[in-house]
Amino acid sequence: DQARADLGAALSWETSLQRVRLQWFTTVNSDSKGYNLLIQNDKKRLVARHGVGIEYAFKGASKDLEWLIGGERYRQQSSLTLFTAEGWSVGAGLKKRF
């Protein structure tokens, strides 16, 4: 059993040909029971993940299609060291807007 809370915010600037989106997010998960008897003596897990991202999109041949490129940086802290992590990602693709 787990409880979760999410909070985020984004800013977006858009013209007829392009869009820039900045976002910030945080997520907190907490277990109601110990995670595992073999890991840190059944300690309850509390995980907090924080991150920022940016996305740049420009219109394709159709008004509903966008080419995009973006990146994200995150840090995850946990009461169990097994779940502590940090990193970044970069992606590119084609998005259809509905």
Rounded to two decimals, the pTM is 0.76
The 3 state secondary structure assigned to 18-75 is EEEEEEEEEEEEEEEEECCCCCHHHCEEEEEEEEEEEEEEEECCCCCEEEEEEEEEEE
pLDDT for 49-67, tens place per residue?
Answer: 999 999 999 987 777 889 9
pLDDT for 33-48, tens place per residue?
Answer: 998 888 888 999 999 9
